Structure 1
Amino acid sequence: MKKFVNLLRREGGFTLVELIVALSLFTVAAGIISGITMLGLRSYHKISIENSLRDEGDLLMSTIITELYTFAPDKVTPTLIQNADKTQIIDSFITLERQDGTKSRIRIANGILTIAPPDVIDPSADTRTKITSRLAQGSAITLDCQNSIPCDSGLISIDLSLVQSYNGRDYPLELKSKFGF
């Protein structure tokens, strides 16, 4: 017991060199650990945003395809509006029409995809196309007809440029799809 008490009363400590070495090693280790942690968090957020963009792109694509197949148009009329020097697409839409005169329009304009009859005043109320991302310039829906316009058969091209912002940085995703009708 006397030995234990003597050890507790000992007044020895660390030297300045030992403290500096210990603090240096601790700082290096903490720096490496925090760097790895920050890299992991950045990668996690990037992957989360990419997954969100893919999910929203899939949702929009499936909504367009569902509208085309459930509406079952007899004729499709394309419209593409570009700026004066034809470098940017301002508005693009296709109008679906049945023989009975019923129409539906799939439109990409001002960063919003809308699906509604042409005479609807506020088509942005459609919950099928609500997304947290935004559609950037270059998003368009176009039609290549195999015969005259309006088309009764052809190839529809959908180009979606989705962008989602996180911490002041934009994360883009380009989706392109083509299918016949």
Structure 2
Amino acid sequence: MKTFVKRLAPNERGITLIELLATITISSIMLSVIYGVFMTGLNLYNKIGIEGQLRDDADYVVSRMMNKLYSFPFDQIEYCPNSPKGTCITLVNDKYVGIDQYNNLLDINPDKDYVDENGNKISTATKIELVETETGFYQFKIDDEILSTQANFKGSTITFQCSKEQNGNCVSAMINIDLTVQHPRTNKTLHLASKFGW
């Protein structure tokens, strides 16, 4: 029993310098590995978050454009006259589509021009353009509404390739949206393209 108690008695010598140096060395190696893994994970998390934000901003802009194109009944498409090519398109609606009643007869969807009570031709238009905001960012604008996002769309273009002309006007086209999306917190640039016909 005396031997057992003697073994359990604390060693009052303390730790040696070699033991202390070995503990510090092993701890520093483990901490540097853990810190490196942690920082790599944090950087990857930020990168994926920013990429996701850029894609969300691009999806938002394209979906708003497509909603406008599908909800606005336009008859022709043209580039804006005072804007650089690729930064602005105008959708023009100058045809009447509706039901008129003439002497108790219905005329459904006549192909005729909008006219006012004086017989003057009326047309409605909507404009999609890339504009520079007060902050120096480039954002898309539909009519008077700027599609505000965290991304910068500098270098993006919106163009069309006319597939059918009528009286000098483009009445059928393939619309191309090429987005160059940048985020202020990173140098990463994302390039996305979308095409749809009308």
Aligned pair count reads 161
Q: Which amino acid in structure 2 is aligned with residue 95 of structure 1?
A: T
Deviant stretches of 4+, over 6 Å:
none
Structure 2: gaps (5+ residues): 95-113, 115-122, 133-137
* 2:178 is equivalent to residue 159 of structure 1: yes
Rounded to whole Å, the distance in 1 between the matches of 2:38 and 2:66 is 42
- Tell me the residue number matched to 1:109: 131
The SS at the match of 1:73 is coil
- What is the root-mean-square deviation in Å for CA atoms of aligned residues? 2.2
State the Cα distance separating 1:146 from its structure 2 match: 1.5
Deviations 1:30-74 (Å, cap 9, x if unpaired)? Answer: 000000000000000100111111111111011111111101211
* 2:154 is equivalent to residue 136 of structure 1: yes
Aligned positions of 1:1-181 closer than 5 A: 3=5, 7-8=9-10, 10-79=11-80, 82=84, 92-99=87-94, 100=114, 101-110=123-132, 111-116=138-143, 123=144, 126=145, 129-137=147-155, 139-148=156-165, 149-166=168-185, 169-181=186-198
Q: Which amino acid in structure 2 is aligned with residue 156 of structure 1?
A: I
- Tell me the residue number matched to 2:111: none
The SS at the match of 2:195 is strand
Asked if the contact 1:79/1:142 (under 8 Å) is kept, the reply is: no
Change (3 A) 1:150 1:112: farther
State the Cα distance separating 1:13 from its structure 2 match: 1.4
Q: TM-score, normalised by structure 2?
A: 0.74
Q: Which amino acid in structure 2 is aligned with residue 21 of structure 1?
A: A
Deviations 1:61-100 (Å, cap 9, x if unpaired)? Answer: 1111111110121111124855xxxxxx7x6111011114
Rounded to whole Å, the distance in 1 between the matches of 2:184 and 2:43 is 14
- Tell me the residue number matched to 2:106: none
Q: Which amino acid in structure 2 is aligned with residue 112 of structure 1?
A: Q
Q: Which of 1 and 2 has greater Rg?
A: 2
Deviations 1:82-122 (Å, cap 9, x if unpaired)? Answer: 5xxxxxx7x61110111140110000133120000xxxxxx
Higher helix share: 1
Q: TM-score, normalised by structure 1?
A: 0.80
The SS at the match of 2:160 is strand
Asked if the contact 1:161/1:172 (under 8 Å) is kept, the reply is: yes
